[in-house]
Amino acid sequence: MAGLRLGPLLRYTDGSCATVWVETSGPCTAEVRCADGARGTARTFLVAGHHYALVPVEGLTPGTSTPYEVLLDGASVWPLPDSPFPPSVIATPTEDDGLHVAFGSCRWAAPPAGGKDPVGPDALDTLAARMAADPGGARPDILLLLGDQVYADEVSDATHRWIGDRRDVDEPPGDQVADYEEYTRLYFESWLDPEVRWLLSTVPSCMIFDDHDVIDDWNTSAAWLTDMRATDWWQERLLSGLMSYWVYQQLGNLSPAELAADPLYAAVREAPDGTADLRAFATRADADAASVRWSYRRDFGRTRLLMVDSRAARVLAEDRRSMLDPEEAAWVREQILDGRGSYDHLLIGTSLPWLLPHLVHDVEAWNAAMCGGERGERGERIRRGADLEHWAAFPSSFDALGDLIAEAGSGPEAPATVSVLSGDVHHAYIAEPSWPGRAPDARVAQLTCSPVHNSVPLSMRLGFRFGWSALARALGRHIARHGRCAPPAVSWRRTGGPWFGNQIMTLTFRGRSARLRLEQARADRAGASALRTITDRELA
């Protein structure tokens, strides 16, 4: 009889339906039964020796919260026997309840219970513990995970030993992940954490990848990609990363209607073994990034979320370098401007911050000019060594996003807020832009929150604190002039932070009002962790 290997993860939800993702130990029929009679079933599909199901649950009642159980071939496998956590629920809040959106990025797998945690308490673990202790208390309606859900290039000691037992780590790529099976180990290690497992079973989640889901500085430049493709291990690493991302993350981002129209999902489910179909899809994505769209849109009542792929959709040729390929950029624009009067709040999720500390922005713009000129080889070395590959390193894309935000945020149909949600840079901050000669009606903010659980070295703390200073801003202007960089189309100022630690941000929307809270996971002298509020402020 098949068992539950991983999950359940509650993924897509709306007022009447939901999807629940599971990985099982063998082929079976997975079923979700809710206490109010809503239910759904799905047969597992097979990829690379692993069995999965995404169960659509129909018949949910808006404005309710109903416990559910998971059954495999009729045998109950969730909740786990003697679970210390409250029952997992599928909640369908109404707009009258408000909307609570929690987000963060960069979660390195927490050690097993009782193990020493070198990077401090995990913000998601701590959030789960608080929710479990007070089941009727405040909780997120949706959790946005903005990249680096797993670290393919920085594995734990336990995973290092596991990899060493199956192949020679003295051969490239060493103790980094090499293939699909090793990716499954990362997800197993990260999502089997008891607190996180329960949290993901009861709070719907939306996800997007960043570089470490594949490799540090993924798609930095055309020269970087050429060097990677020259190795004998890169293609298997990339294909495995895209395949596992599709199975473990992307499927759950999509609505039942989108899944029903997806030919790849149909092919994988109908095949006795979907590995070949999924691998062919990943191969096409590698050959032509524009053939695949990882970005997606979700509407939560009058709040719109646009999750933007800022890794795989890049155009890397130096003479037309862009964060998004033309079709992707047109799609993003269409989704933002579609029915503008139908939403009060616009969330743009991009793993990489749009607005950075001024010094960092100017150095990235200077480097982009340098790489496109006669000193391109030297500029490329600096680009890779300093990780200069954010929106600022794609100046035309930076300006285009700013213009689009200003357009969306202006006029009688403007939303109350436009928030760019990001992670990646291992600190949290708030930055607010302004446009010369125009003032959008919406309150616009760059909201950056990371890491959820990772290290923040002292050098990084000092560097980012300096990067936001007036002296650094003046230095950045000098560097930009040296590169003959055109001034950015938007200016901005930091209005909160920088804050360092394992942390999570939450936006609360009620009508056209918005409130922001940042919480950090802190441990007391006895080792118990709790979330401490660092800032709580009104946005609109």
Two structure tokens written together for 527: 């080792």
Instruction: Answer yes or no: is pLDDT of 113 > 90.
Output: no
Are 297 and 305 in contact by the 8 Å Cβ rule? The answer is yes
Task: Band the pLDDT of 201: cuts 50, 70, 90.
Answer: very high
E strand residue ranges, 198-330: 205-207, 296-300, 303-308
State how far the alpha carbon of 346 is from the alpha carbons of 225, 289, 323, in Å: 33, 26, 20
SS (H, E, C) 4-62: EEEEEEEEEECCCCEEEEEEECCCCEEEEEECCCCEEEEECEEECCEEEEEEEEECCCC
Pairing state between β 513-523 and 50-57: unpaired
Task: Band the pLDDT of 236: cuts 50, 70, 90.
Answer: very high
Residue 343, pLDDT score = 97
Task: Band the pLDDT of 437: cuts 50, 70, 90.
Answer: confident
Instruction: Using alpha carbons, select from 107, 102, 103, 104 the residue that is nearest to residue 454.
Output: 107
Instruction: Using alpha carbons, select from 1, 63, 7 the residue that is nearest to residue 32.
Output: 7
CA torsion through residues 368, 372, 373, 379, sign: positive
Task: Band the pLDDT of 43: cuts 50, 70, 90.
Answer: very high
Instruction: Using alpha carbons, select from 428, 409, 413, 406 the residue that is nearest to residue 505.
Output: 428
CA torsion through residues 242, 246, 250, 255, sign: positive
DSSP string, 476-531: HHHHHHHTTPPPPS-EEEEEEEEE-SSEEEEEEEETTEEEEEEEEEEE-TTS-EEE
List pLDDT tens digits, range 358-411: 999 999 999 999 998 767 788 899 999 999 999 999 999 999 999 999 999 999
Residue 243, pLDDT score = 98
Q: Residue 397: CB partners within 8 Å, gap ≥ 6?
A: 322, 323, 324, 329, 391
Instruction: Answer yes or no: is pLDDT of 105 > 90.
Output: yes
Per-residue pLDDT, averaged over 82-90, amounts to: 96
DSSP 81: T
Look up the pTM and report it. 0.97
Task: Band the pLDDT of 117: cuts 50, 70, 90.
Answer: confident
The neighbouring-strand residues paired with 65 are 91
Residue 116, pLDDT score = 80
Task: Band the pLDDT of 97: cuts 50, 70, 90.
Answer: confident
DSSP 97: G
Residue 331, pLDDT score = 98
Kindly give the residue spans of alpha helices, DSSP state H, lying in 374-469: 376-385, 395-408, 458-467
Per-residue pLDDT, averaged over 56-79, amounts to: 96
DSSP string, 291-325: G----EEEEETTEEEEEE--STT-B--GGG-BSS-
In terms of Cβ atoms closer than 10 Å to its own Cβ (0-12, 13-18, 19+), residue 104 is buried
CA distance 516 to 181: 39
273 phi-psi bin (left φ>0, alpha ψ -120 to 50, beta other)? beta
List pLDDT tens digits, range 280-325: 999 999 999 999 999 999 999 999 999 999 999 999 999 999 999 9
In terms of Cβ atoms closer than 10 Å to its own Cβ (0-12, 13-18, 19+), residue 317 is exposed
Q: Residue 122: CB partners within 8 Å, gap ≥ 6?
A: 107, 110, 193, 195, 196, 452, 453, 502, 521
Instruction: Answer yes or no: is pLDDT of 526 > 80.
Output: no
Are 144 and 349 in contact by the 8 Å Cβ rule? The answer is yes
- H or E element at residue 373: none
Cα-based angle 301, 303, 307 (whole degrees, multiple of 5)? 120
The whole-chain average pLDDT of the chain stands at: 95
Instruction: Using alpha carbons, select from 387, 294, 410, 297 the residue that is nearest to residue 348.
Output: 297
Residue 93, pLDDT score = 78
Are 422 and 146 in contact by the 8 Å Cβ rule? The answer is yes
Per-residue pLDDT, averaged over 185-204, amounts to: 97
Backbone phi, psi, residue 39, to 5°: -160, 175
Pairing state between β 142-145 and 417-422: unpaired
Task: Band the pLDDT of 106: cuts 50, 70, 90.
Answer: very high
CA distance 18 to 235: 35
Share of the chain above pLDDT 70, in %: 99
Backbone phi, psi, residue 371, to 5°: -65, -30
In terms of Cβ atoms closer than 10 Å to its own Cβ (0-12, 13-18, 19+), residue 288 is exposed
Residue 460, pLDDT score = 84
The residue that leads in pLDDT, 422 or 118, is 422
Per-residue pLDDT, averaged over 239-244, amounts to: 98
Are 146 and 103 in contact by the 8 Å Cβ rule? The answer is yes
Backbone phi, psi, residue 12, to 5°: -70, 135
Q: How many CB atoms are closer than 10 A to CB 133? A: 9
Q: How many CB atoms are closer than 10 A to CB 376? A: 15
Instruction: Answer yes or no: is pLDDT of 483 > 90.
Output: no
Per-residue pLDDT, averaged over 164-187, amounts to: 97
In terms of Cβ atoms closer than 10 Å to its own Cβ (0-12, 13-18, 19+), residue 403 is middle
Residue 353, pLDDT score = 98
Instruction: Using alpha carbons, select from 55, 173, 195 the residue that is nearest to residue 117.
Output: 195
Per-residue pLDDT, averaged over 532-536, amounts to: 98
Are 232 and 172 in contact by the 8 Å Cβ rule? The answer is yes
Pairing state between β 443-448 and 417-422: parallel
Two structure tokens written together for 323: 């964060």
